[in-house]
Chain A
Amino acid sequence: MSKKELRFPKRPFRTSGGAKVPHRKNTSDKQSVIMPSPEEVIIPMSQHIGAPCKVQVSVGEQVYVGTVVGDSDAFVCAPIHSSVSGVVKSITKITMPSGAQVDAVVIESDGKDTTDPAIKPPVVENLQDFLKAVRASGLVGLGGAGFPAHVKLNVPADKEIDTLIINCAECEPYITADNREVIENSWAVISGVYTVSELLGIERVIIGIENNKPEAIKILTEIADNPKYDPEDKVRVLPLKASYPQGAEKVLIKACTGREVPTGKLPADAGCIVMNVTSVAFLSDYLKTGMPLTKKRLTVDGSAIKEPQNVIVPIGTPISKVMEFCGGYKEEVKKLLMGGPMMGISLSDDSLPVLKQNNAILAFSEKEARLYEPTDCIRCGRCVSACPMRLMPTRLCSDVKLLDFDAMQKHQIMTCMECGSCAFSCPAHRHIVQTIRLGKSKLKAELMKQKGDK
């Protein structure tokens, strides 16, 4: 392949659509607080996309911080570790926010937080060692999707990756966890960036960050632009326009490189790997200490929260305990979200535990919890101009209403990533995303059925 020199873009490439969502980053200047271990943690066996883990411990067994409690032979799967030291109290089933029933290990903490004696820094000499270490660390995409990191980093041999994009856009309102990670742990971010890019042989790293985080941009630029730390000038920070959904993988790739991931393909097909900034920082820490993913920084905010802040909590802590630690509720909670207000999942109660890929818990009072009643579509076209995937939500909604599977496919319903820009902008408050989501699952079922018939 004739190699053209890769250049860094001076300004982001143009992306289409987007919505002007409010920022409400109330916690961006507040130092994160470390929450002590709760008396009990609940660790579900499915905290990633892929096969759920099998329980590896039995009731009554002594576990430590970092002990493997769940694992599986499946490739698309990441092991799950205990976040406290103590005794396995029970193994039960819990209902996840998605509605699925999964096994969960309940561990009673002894309050000592003893580290598992078996934990030691992994020896990494080549890419294979590295991928094994990434799997053992239990890392999943911390931006919210929860895709096992070792699967993403294991690039097929026929794909050429020339750019590593670090996702620090954090475009959802309220959430500031990645921002705080950069500010409080900036050296880990940069050393993680180097480790990953060197092991994968990537010569260009772009840190994409929305321009509403001036402090984080300043810190990262100072390190990345200093020839002492970045002698080959392979890492650069690219401030992006603060516009939702700048942090969506495909949109971010477009903004940073001008490339479009082809329909139904992966970022690797556009020569890119995208990693969340907290994931990279965690990897760097893991390679130093060998401590797997057992803690997570969460933004706790929303109109019903007394003291909005970022807290670092052991994974598996029940949400109610996190809320107690944050001073409890200010008003009666009417809506509880896991994740941001645009793409987060609304929970039915606060007994669920914190998962690996959580980055925010938001609690809202009645005023924000109630959604408007939908009225008739006036065909204003705001959804069409808001769609970052250049879809026509108006047309997709009528396809779904008619259950016209051919039209749904023709109009690329599967390209929809459910970012919510359309529904946010809709003056008739129509349930656009909900309708498209329904259409997507009906289409999937229909395609499965057709496959089965043949």
Chain B
Amino acid sequence: MSKLFVSSSPHLRSNCSTRKIMLDVIIALLPSCAAAVVFFGWRALMLLGVCVLTCVFSEYICRIVMKREQTIGDLSAVVTGVLLALNLPANLNPLMAVFGSVAAIVVVKQMFGGIGMNFVNPALAARIILTVSFPTAMTNWIPTAYQSVDAVSSATPLASESGAYSYLQLFLGNHGGSMGETCALAILLGGIYLVLRKVIVPTIPVVYIGTAALMALILGLDPLEQILSGGIMLGAVFMATDYTTSPVTKWGKVVYALGCGVLTMLIRTFANLPEGVSFSILIMNILTPLIESATAPSAFGEKKGRRAK
């Protein structure tokens, strides 16, 4: 008899893998990418390409310099690249996009140990780094290909007067803004795909958007307009659900998303910023370890067992 493999149980594994999960996220992001290209043209496509290539290349170099196993095969760098691109205005100087991508992968992700170890979402952190470094370029929104330039300013709905855009316009994304944020329909399609493929559970997006709508109502704003404008949809579906930086516990996810929703609306209303999604998710990312230990489930049998007497 030939030599046998001896290993610890279980001897059966599901065929799920990190790469398959990341591939599903990329597929879910495709509608948003398509919408970006439709509304903003070739510049959108170029920025997507620049971000993805830079992210993958920086990860590749990083792993070599750090003398670690190569991980570009898990496609997580591609996801970061696409997400970052979707968070940029379409007419951004590509060199700035390169800077953002390098910051995301090298500083935020790899310096903390690579996939699963970063304490904030790399794409989100990079967006904030870019916003702080190049405030004008990062908020210079161009109109979409289907907006008549003279009628509507290119300002985002959040910066304009309330009611400047119809709900349908907001839902379809025919307005100024970051490339991937404008089209709610595309994001929704991607989100449904992720839930159906069991990549994410709907808790975080639903609670996040629900809380934001409720907060808008309390603050006397139009809830539908608030959730359809700015980055809430993209943030709730793709950014806040990042595995590494969101809690793994069931109730932790609820607390986390609740915090994101409340903070977003508070920043939008009271802070000197038009948009609060990036900062609110970032703050909740940092609170994740705390939330997680506070919401850890009690182990089986830990509470007094109920006895039917």
Contact = CB atoms under 8 A, between A and B. Distances in A.
A343 to B, nearest CB: 5
Contacts of A334: 2, 4-5
Contact of B9 (A264, A381, A418, A429): A418
Contact of A250 (B10, B76, B250, B300): B300
B151 interface: no
Contact of A378 (B1, B10, B18): B18
B189 interface: no
A379 B114 CA distance: 12
A257 B11 CA distance: 31
A263 B305 CA distance: 9
Interface stretch (A44-52, A122-130, A382-390, A443-451): A382-390
A370 B12 CA distance: 10
Contact of A260 (B2, B6, B303): B303
Between A263, A264, A376, A424, the greatest number of chain B beta carbons within 10 A of the residue's beta carbon is seen for A376
Given A173-B12, A259-B308, A348 B301 contact: no
Chain A contact-residue range equals 35 or more
A428 B18 contact: yes
A369 B13 contact: no
Interface string A354-386: 000000000010001111100111111110110
Given A375-B74, A376-B116, A427-B16, A392 B10 contact: no
Given A270-B307, A332-B2, A427-B20, A346 B14 contact: no
Q: Which residue among A257, A265, A381 has the maximum number of chain B CB atoms within 10 Å of its CB? A: A381
Interface stretch (A1-9, A55-63, A108-116): A1-9
Given A334-B2, A392-B249, A377 B116 contact: yes
A155 interface: no
B12 A348 contact: no
Interface stretch (B133-141, B169-177, B291-299): B291-299
Interface of A: 1-2, 4, 6, 16, 19-22, 173, 250, 254, 257-265, 269-271, 320, 332-337, 341-350, 364, 368-372, 375-382, 384-385, 388-392, 394-395, 411-412, 415, 418, 420, 423-429, 431, 433-434, 437
17 contacts: A21-B12, A259-B308, A260-B301, A261-B300, A261-B301, A262-B301, A262-B304, A270-B305, A332-B2, A341-B9, A347-B6, A378-B76, A415-B302, A424-B12, A427-B21, A431-B8, A434-B8
